[in-house]
Amino acid sequence: MIEYTFMKMNPIEQPDLVDLKIAKTLLENPGLAAKLTNFIGIPIEKGFELLPANWNMKVGAITHAALYKAVNAAIFTMKNIPHQKASNFCHQTAVVASGAIGGFFGLPALAIELPISTILMLRSIADIARSHGENIMDTESRVACIMVFALGGSKKSDNAAESGYFALRTLLARSITEASEYIAQRGLFEEGAPALVRLILVIAERFGIQVSEKVAAQAIPVIGAAGGAIVNSLFIDHFQSMSQGHFIVRRLERKYGREIVEATYLSI
């Protein structure tokens, strides 16, 4: 009865409410580490123990560089065809292939494999954005695509008030606004631009968590090249899921406004 009354009072139409529930399920589900642990059958912490002492500094630097390369190369070569169906499988296949190479050569190959995977994933993210009616020539949409790399799914240790989807968007809001204004004025990404540096630093920090989990999984001896391909399959599947949820929410915000969508999302 309570749910029926809420649905009658809420301005969001039933099909859109169903979509919003799907989005929340995608965005608030357990993160990549849980998916990798389920696949490997071994806690990811075991993989972290096998990595060299300075691995986290190397992964951080490589992640940062990979994001810069991706934002410069991935979206700007795509045509804007709103509502075109996303080619998820094609992007998955390409990322899986790069994962097989990375799994075969191990941590030393990350500097080559991660930028390629990140560019492919950002193209997939933009493809999904386009399928939800985003104009990927629009600065705000491009920055929304980059933001997906900061979406990691929830962890058991997370404080929901600090790590939820809308909480993260609020956290990133200032950096996103500054970066969007800069791109709108200059029409391009420049590595030294302060607004972009701040945005990439914040996103790279969060994206680096998922990259570290991927590297830890590939460090486990039973993984190898075939396992590296499957790890990358889970890696891109994770960010494609985050993209679907993120751009469903943005599509509904364009229709109903953020305040209504956020209130409904939080009430689900």
pLDDT tens figures, 199-221: 888 899 899 999 898 888 877 77
Q: Which residues of 76-101 are buried (b: 16+ CB within 10 A; e: fewer)?
A: eeeeeeeeeebebeebbebbbebbbb
Comparison of pLDDT for 59 and 160, the residue scoring more:
59
pLDDT tens figures, 85-104: 665 556 556 555 555 555 54
Mean pLDDT of 55-76: 80
CA 191 to CA 150: how far, in whole Å?
Answer: 19
User: Do the beta carbons of residue 216 and residue 44 sit within 8 Å?
Assistant: yes
Half-sphere exposure of 85 (CA within 13 A, CB side): 3
pLDDT tens figures, 123-154: 889 889 999 999 888 888 888 999 999 997 55
pLDDT-based confidence at 254, cuts 50/70/90? Answer: very high
pLDDT at 12 over 90: yes
pLDDT-based confidence at 30, cuts 50/70/90? Answer: confident
pLDDT at 222 over 70: no
Phi and psi, residue 239, nearest 5°: -75, -25
Looking at residue 207, its pLDDT comes to: 92
pLDDT at 20 over 90: yes
pLDDT tens figures, 161-170: 456 899 999 9
pLDDT at 17 over 90: yes
Looking at residue 87, its pLDDT comes to: 58
